[in-house]
Amino acid sequence: MDVRIFIEQKIEETRTTAGADAAISALSGGVDSSACTVLAHRALGDRLKVIYIDDGLMREGEADEVKTIFSGLGIAVDVVDAREEFFAALTGKIDPEEKRKAFRNTFYSVFGRSVKESGARYLVQGTIKADIIETKGGVKTQHNILEQIGIDPEKGYGFKVIEPLRDLFKHEVREVAAELGLPESIHQRMPFPGPGLATRVIGEVTPERVALVRKATTVVEEEIAALKPFQAFAVLMSDKGTGIEEGQRRFGHVIIVRSVESRDAMTAEATQVPWDILMKITQRILKEVPGVSRVAYELTPKPPATIEYI
């Protein structure tokens, strides 16, 4: 792929598709949505409205970082605070697919409202090839693949979708993002799933449980960063594990640390993390994340496991 030619073509295509209409992009700060937002901004300029939906499921400090990076690129980002709505939709849900559906429906209803307010007719989305393949293959329902799963975005939500990156794999998207002038913290960013930390909380997704997994994720990312894994994160289990505190039995949270190596997220294997790093992660999580009694490192490859837990 010639990255420059690809970018020129997609800018042209986006302009032709949108015509004189306005478009909207929901930026998450991941490499996919960032690249397609910059691309669409080049194509449409001020006719592209960029929003960041704060779903309460992002990592530590992510919203501020994204705003700062994009304002540095001359792209204004509107933050939509929808935290309560997402948590309300997730209340009481423990089935993985139900959680994904609750997330997706809330995402599109919040997004649909923003689209209506903005007057945009088009929705720019960073769907990539792996999303489409896995959704078609029935591995899971990705929140950003509407038509493939039988939802008509125009009928259901009132807008048409533009997906400039749909033929690319992750490593190609990174090249495009770098060429578009995005900083390394974005173009080399670890993949982060649309439903955010909700994919890493087994059982009910509540603000308190998300806060726990967010803290553990920060520890994992900080301690493992030097190894540059494809993806590394923490997962909160639903059951508790027995521990001992001051001679007493105590039931505490169980955190799984997952780090994988992969090229395109279609297959993956566990990172060979040095023992001292695993020990440091364990000690820090036990100390910094309240109520944790056990930390484990996951070794399962994909397949048979997926990378995320839901």
Q: Which residues bind ligand XMP (CB under 6 A)?
A: 134, 139-140, 142-144, 191, 193-195, 199, 231, 265, 302, 306-308
CB count in 10 Å sphere of residue 46: 8
Closest approach, Cβ 104 to ligand XMP, in A, equals 8
Looking at the Cβ atoms of 144 and 259, the one nearer to ligand XMP is: 144
Closest approach of Cβ 246 to ligand XMP, in Å?
39
Is residue 300 packed enough to be buried (19+ CB in 10 Å), middle (13-18) or exposed (0-12)? middle
Nearer to ligand XMP, 185 or 267 (CB): 267
Nearer to ligand XMP by Cβ, of 106 and 144: the residue is: 144
Kindly state the smallest distance separating residue 202's Cβ from ligand XMP, in Å. 13
Residue number, 57 or 252, with CB nearest to ligand XMP? 57
Question: Least distance to ligand XMP from the beta carbon of 262, Å?
Answer: 7
CA distance 262 to 271: 9
| Residue with nearest beta carbon to ligand XMP | 194
Closer to ligand XMP at the Cβ: 104 or 284? 104
Least distance to ligand XMP, CB of residue 152, Å:
20
Residue of 139, 144, 181, 185 whose CA lies nearest to 165: 144
Which residue, 271 or 293, has its beta carbon nearer to ligand XMP?
271
CB of 297 to ligand XMP, least distance (A): 17
CB closer to ligand XMP, 238 vs 242 = 238
Considering the complex, what minimum distance in angstroms separates the CB of residue 194 from ligand XMP?
3
CB 23 within 8 A of CB 39: no
The count of residues in the chain is: 310
